[in-house]
């Protein structure tokens, strides 16, 4: 190897040079995704018997069923069918660790009757040919693969869960979910008849009118795992269509059962605060941020993007504005309130500060965003960091109430700023000496369900 970092092939080594030229000739096919890098190398070396790869499969599959003697083809494998007639363009989705549904790839839906590499199709999956993978998701695992990345399946056929495959309409029409087969279809007039209840009697008896109305809507849906895609893809304009705003049946049921809340529910309530609370109260010095953009997972996936989002949020409003957002670290929720004019961050945490450690992970991110903001505004400050003030607030007694407490914190913070004569945030969010009651939690869930019914159904 030379100093430039390249291998030097002696001109007398004709065999190696021949392999090199064959591999170089296939570089365009590799770049376009028509073949994978190791397949190009195998072809160049002349070992086609190893050009096939192992697909994601059951742990109980026998090795004889995982390999074929013939090289795997990168096209539709259905015999006797025309790809132009059978393959349908589709969009492929996957999930973040906090169960946010994201569009990760585009491909083609293949006939379900075919078998690939002697592996039968799982009943809850489609065969799809992967054409393209979004750049930021290339290192994600495939939905059903083991130690297999999305970048590795470009130009190949794999199994993909049915609920995460959407057909792409013609003439740039919106995406629509793949239709279930005749055996899977559920009558649209279903109102609990012929279907197991989604909640038990104990939970049903506790529902208020708003919750029951949403529950009846859920019972009309064609499946427990289907996602409802909202018309407002992104109320904050932060994702530019990359992530569609969605709430699953399971997310809503967790809220109705008073279980631990997913990020989609807090994201919906933050939207509710943005659209309803601040607009009705006509508060000009309060805005909300997208909790998905500032979550610990988003920081881990793309820290520069999160910092830039925070910086642009600081720049887009008056420095005296209170910037409110829920923040999730692990499975724990808290509320952050940023006021750039005071270089202060207030936070409401339903756990004891020492036991939750909620500020430590996001502290550096917010300070970095502040430094970028000061640079942009050409403001010099000896100590370009935020000071942190913990708000006096109600504390939870159980293990899962943080999401509900965070919704109540947001409501309490916005209401307190509105009631203050100078629209300033007090350092106490009542009640302080007791946890929120079941009635208070039920009321904030009712407000959310009323808003959700308007947006989802």
pLDDT per 10-residue tile (average), the chain, 457 residues: 52 72 72 61 62 41 42 40 65 72 86 70 85 84 72 87 81 39 36 64 88 84 56 53 65 91 91 83 89 86 90 93 91 93 94 66 92 93 92 90 95 93 92 93 94 77
Residues 37, 101, single domain; the answer is no
Residues 171, 37, single domain; the answer is no
Burial of 371 per CB tally in 10 Å (0-12, 13-18, 19+): middle
412 close to 429: Cβ distance less than 8 angstroms? yes
Given this model, what pLDDT does residue 141 score?
Answer: 80
Residues 96, 60, single domain; the answer is no
373 close to 311: Cβ distance less than 8 angstroms? yes
Strands 246-248 and 286-288: unpaired
Query: Does residue 196 fall inside a structural domain?
Result: no
Residues 336, 439, single domain; the answer is yes
Residues 249, 325, single domain; the answer is yes
The rounded distance, in Å, linking the Cα atoms of 23 and 184 is 47
Residues 104, 46, single domain; the answer is no
Given this model, what pLDDT does residue 375 score?
Answer: 94
Q: Which of 175, 190, 219 is the last residue of a domain?
A: 175
Query: Does residue 368 fall inside a structural domain?
Result: yes
Query: Does residue 4 fall inside a structural domain?
Result: no
Contact residues for 294 (Cβ-Cβ < 8 A; gap 6+): 306, 309, 310, 325, 327, 336, 362, 365
The rounded distance, in Å, linking the Cα atoms of 91 and 74 is 18
Given this model, what pLDDT does residue 346 score?
Answer: 95
Residues 219, 348, single domain; the answer is yes
Query: Does residue 266 fall inside a structural domain?
Result: yes
119 close to 57: Cβ distance less than 8 angstroms? yes
Determine the structural domain holding residue 21 and report its residue range: 14-65
Query: Does residue 7 fall inside a structural domain?
Result: no
Given this model, what pLDDT does residue 82 score?
Answer: 45
Given this model, what pLDDT does residue 32 score?
Answer: 57
Q: Is the dihedral of CA 407, 410, 414, 416 positive or negative?
A: positive
Structure tokens at 17: 């040079």
Query: Does residue 281 fall inside a structural domain?
Result: yes
Query: Does residue 180 fall inside a structural domain?
Result: no
364 close to 450: Cβ distance less than 8 angstroms? no
Q: Which of 6, 32, 65 is the last residue of a domain?
A: 65
Residues 153, 296, single domain; the answer is no
Residues 246, 311, single domain; the answer is yes
Given this model, what pLDDT does residue 59 score?
Answer: 40
Residues 138, 55, single domain; the answer is no
The number of folded domains in the chain is: 3
Structure tokens at 107: 């491909």
Residues 131, 214, single domain; the answer is no
Residues 246, 110, single domain; the answer is no
Query: Does residue 246 fall inside a structural domain?
Result: yes
């Amino acid at each position: 190897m030379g100093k430039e970092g390249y291998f030097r092939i002696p001109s007398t080594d004709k065999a190696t040079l021949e392999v090199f030229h064959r591999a170089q000739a296939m570089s365009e096919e590799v770049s376009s995704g028509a073949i994978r890098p190791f397949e190009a190398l195998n072809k160049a070396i002349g070992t086609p018997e190893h050009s096939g790869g192992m697909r994601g499969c059951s742990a109980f599959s026998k090795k004889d069923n995982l390999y074929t003697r013939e090289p795997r083809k990168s096209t539709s494998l259905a015999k006797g069918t025309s790809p132009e007639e059978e393959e349908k363009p589709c969009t492929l989705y996957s999930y973040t660790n906090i169960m946010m549904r994201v569009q990760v790839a585009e491909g083609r839906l293949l006939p379900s009757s075919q078998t690939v590499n002697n592996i039968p199709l799982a009943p809850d999956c489609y065969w799809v040919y992967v054409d393209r993978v979004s750049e930021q998701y290339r290192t994600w695992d495939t939905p059903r693969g083991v130690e297999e990345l999305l970048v590795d399946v470009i130009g190949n056929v794999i199994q993909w869960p049915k609920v995460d495959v959407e057909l792409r309409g013609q003439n740039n029409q919106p995406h629509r979910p793949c239709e279930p087969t005749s055996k899977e279809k559920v009558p649209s007039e279903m109102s609990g008849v012929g279907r197991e209840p989604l909640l038990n009697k104990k939970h049903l008896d506790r529902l208020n009118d708003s919750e029951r109305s949403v529950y009846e809507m859920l019972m009309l849906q064609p499946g427990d795992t289907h996602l409802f895609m909202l018309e407002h893809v992104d109320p904050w304009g932060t994702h530019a269509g990359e992530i569609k705003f969605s709430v699953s049946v399971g997310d809503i049921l967790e809220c109705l059962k008073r279980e631990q809340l997913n990020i989609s529910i807090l994201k919906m309530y933050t939207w509710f605060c943005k659209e309803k609370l601040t607009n009705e109260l006509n508060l000009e010095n309060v805005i909300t941020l997208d909790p998905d953009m500032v979550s610990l997972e988003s920081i881990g996936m793309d820290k520069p993007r999160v910092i830039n989002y925070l910086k642009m949020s600081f720049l887009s409003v008056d420095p005296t504005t209170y910037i409110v957002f829920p923040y999730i670290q692990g499975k724990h929720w808290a509320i952050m309130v940023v006021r750039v004019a005071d270089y202060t961050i207030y936070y409401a945490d339903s756990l004891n500060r020492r036991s939750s450690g909620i500020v430590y992970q996001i502290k550096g991110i917010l300070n970095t965003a502040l430094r970028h903001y000061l640079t942009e505004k050409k403001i010099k400050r000896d100590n370009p960091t935020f000071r942190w003030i913990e708000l006096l607030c109600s504390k939870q007694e159980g293990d899962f109430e943080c999401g509900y407490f965070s919704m109540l914190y947001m409501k309490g913070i916005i209401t307190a700023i509105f009631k203050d004569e100078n629209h300033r945030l007090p350092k106490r969010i009542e009640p302080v000496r007791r946890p929120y009651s079941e009635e208070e939690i039920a009321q904030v869930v009712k407000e959310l369900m009323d808003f959700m019914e308007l947006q989802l159904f």
